[in-house]
Amino acid sequence: MSTIPKLPGAVERYLEQTDQRLAHHPKLQQVFRNCFPNTLETTTKLLDDGTTFIYTGDIPAMWLRDSVEQVRHYIPLAKNDADLQRIIEGLIARQLFYINIDPYTNAFNETANGRHYRDSDDCELSPWMWERKYELDSLCFPVQLLAQYWQETGRTSMFDTDCYRALSTVVRVIATEQRHDDKSPYYFRRDTKQDTETLYNDGRGMPTNYTGMSWSGFRSSDDACEFGYNIPANMFAVVILGHIERIASEIYRDDELAGRAAKLIKEINFGIRRYGIVDHPKHGKIYAFETDGYGNYSLMDDAGTPGLLSIPYIGYVGTDDPVYQNTRRFALSFDNPFYFEGKFAKGIGSPHTPGGYVWHMALSMQALTSNDEQEIKDLIEMLLATDAGTGYMHEGFHPDDPSDFSREWFAWSNSLFAALIVKAMNDDLI
């Protein structure tokens, strides 16, 4: 096992180029230089088996979701850099290994060391599991990384039997969770006073009606779903099932697996369109955050990805989609119960952090999904002005006092900021 001894050459060269590009803005230049390589410099381990373990920062576990977002901005540099290929392909292999251990787990240990976030969780924990919260998006992110890396580099060494098994497992679990109440083996019980940390109904979640969508126990913030069908996660499932359909057809020549993925796409899309859109009295037709299929809805947005704000980012519809635009206006207004404003910032927060906190990731995502050049520039300045003088991004912070923040070392947030600045430079906005 080893950490990265030095930055890959492609990353070093890119940082040298961007130093010159951002020389006119010293603060931005420094924060970008801190954030862009942060994952490689602080949270990446090359393991002896050829895989890569990427932990989240101040927590010594690897989230399937976070680890993808921590490296996504390196993919465009990987085509001709063997060190980056070793890192990313090793991460893909590690993610597939974990999915094959248990597709219902969100965060894993580096080894089967028996460490858990809470030893008292009642959810069939194994020594590999840091935490066993089933989040539909946790199955989606590794597939998206696999597909994007393949499309960007043309490399195919990732597509082995373990990969096929994992992709088949993803399809099977998504299909099973279409009828969670009848067919799913999953439950999660945590002895806690916080409703967002456990599932009602003896750990099974509140009852759901069949809609075609797939059930999720927890959100991308690791908070419990209020209603079982999380709309952004199901949108993400549609996107990655399209990747699986293509990989099954072109790589594995498996028409049966491709057909199962295509069937799920059709069913989930129907559910989103039939059950996931509501008429808001102020904003018109908007995407709900969650529903149970019985007519109950959660109208909110959360700072985590996937959320309503990030729908174009995950690739479900473009920013010009009229329902998305309505939804965006809703999410960035006080009609969203987790939208907050203060002296230094305004944006989306989460029930996962103290009330009133805005998340840096939400500000980065707002800019990444904006078509308004001035909005993007203003958000970049807002991000820089709220780093509390640390030179890094955080999780949540108080918009009246950015020095009051959570998670000093949160690599996902640093990476998303870096991805925003890369896009802004590519679009000649900086």
pLDDT tens readout for residues 367-387 = 999 999 999 999 999 999 999
Question: Which residue carries 């099954």 as its tokens?
Answer: 248
| Residues 375-422: tens digit of each pLDDT | 999 999 999 999 999 999 999 999 999 999 998 989 999 999 999 999
Quote the pLDDT of residue 311.
98
Reported as type and span, the H/E element at residue 405 is: strand 401-405
The alpha carbon dihedral of 95, 98, 100, 103 has a sign of negative
CA-CA distances (angstroms) from residue 139 to 80, 107, 206, 302? Answer: 28, 11, 22, 19
**81 near 121, Cβ under 8 Å?**
no
- DSSP count for the chain of H helices, then E strands: 16, 16
Say if residue 244's pLDDT is above 80: yes
| Cα distance between residue 407 and residue 421, in whole Å | 21
Distance CA 102, CA 134 (A): 10
Overall average pLDDT of the 133-151 stretch: 98
Instruction: Put the strands of the sheet holding 2-3 in their side by side order.
Output: 2-3, 44-46, 52-54
**Chain segment 301-358, per-residue pLDDT in tens:** 999 999 999 999 999 999 999 999 999 999 999 999 999 999 999 999 999 888 899 9
The residues that bridge with 359 in the sheet, in sequence order, are 396
Q: 307: exposed, middle or buried (C-beta count within 10 Å: 0-12, 13-18, 19+)?
A: buried
Distance CA 296, CA 292 (A): 6
**Secondary structure letter of residue 239 according to DSSP:** H
Identity of the amino acid at 29: Q
The model's pLDDT over 264-293, given as tens digits with 9 standing for 90+, comes to: 999 999 999 999 999 999 999 999 999 999
CB atoms within 10 A of CB 120: 10
Helix ranges (DSSP H) in 294-403: 311-314, 322-331, 360-368, 373-385
Amino acid identity of 334?
F
User: CA-to-CA distance for 14 and 21, rounded, in angstroms?
Assistant: 10
Confidence of residue 133 (pLDDT cuts 50, 70, 90): very high
Rounded-to-integer distance, Cα 311 and Cα 430, Å = 25
Average pLDDT, the chain: 97
C-alpha distances in Å from residue 219, one per residue of 107, 264, 338, 350: 13, 21, 14, 11
Q: What tens digit of pLDDT does each residue of 169-217 get?
A: 999 999 999 999 999 999 999 998 777 899 999 999 999 999 999 999 9
Chain centroid to Cα 85, Å, comes to 21
Integer Cα distance of 246 and 261 in angstroms: 9
- Kindly state the average pLDDT of the residues 21-47: 97
What CATH number corresponds to the domain at position 190?
1.50.10.10
Could you list the residue range(s) of the whole structural domain that residue 402 is in? 2-426
Per-residue model confidence (pLDDT) at position 375 = 98
Q: Peptide bond preceding 76: is omega within 30 degrees of 0, i.e. cis?
A: no
Q: How buried is residue 284: exposed, middle or buried, by Cβ count under 10 Å (0-12/13-18/19+)?
A: middle
- CA dist., res. 82 & res. 78, Å (int): 7
The three-state DSSP-derived secondary structure of 265-307 is HHHHHHHHHHHCEEEECCCEEEECCEECCCCCEECCCCCCCCC
Asked if residues 380 and 418 have their Cβ atoms less than 8 Å apart, the reply is no
- Secondary structure, 3-state, 238-268: HHHHHHHHHHHHHCCCCHHHHHHHHHHHHHH
Structure token digits, residue 398: 């108080």
Confirm if 257 and 248 have CB atoms less than 8 A apart. yes
pLDDT at 1: 53
Handedness of CA 322, 347, 356, 415 (dihedral sign): positive
pTM: 0.97
Q: How far apart are the first and last CA of the chain?
A: 39
User: Domain tally for the chain?
Assistant: 1
Dihedral of CA atoms 97, 103, 108, 109 in degrees, nearest 10, equals -50
DSSP 185: -
Q: Is 160 left (phi over 0), alpha (psi -120 to 50) or beta?
A: beta
Percent of the chain past pLDDT 90, that is, above it, reads: 95
Residue given tokens 């696999």 in the structure block: 146
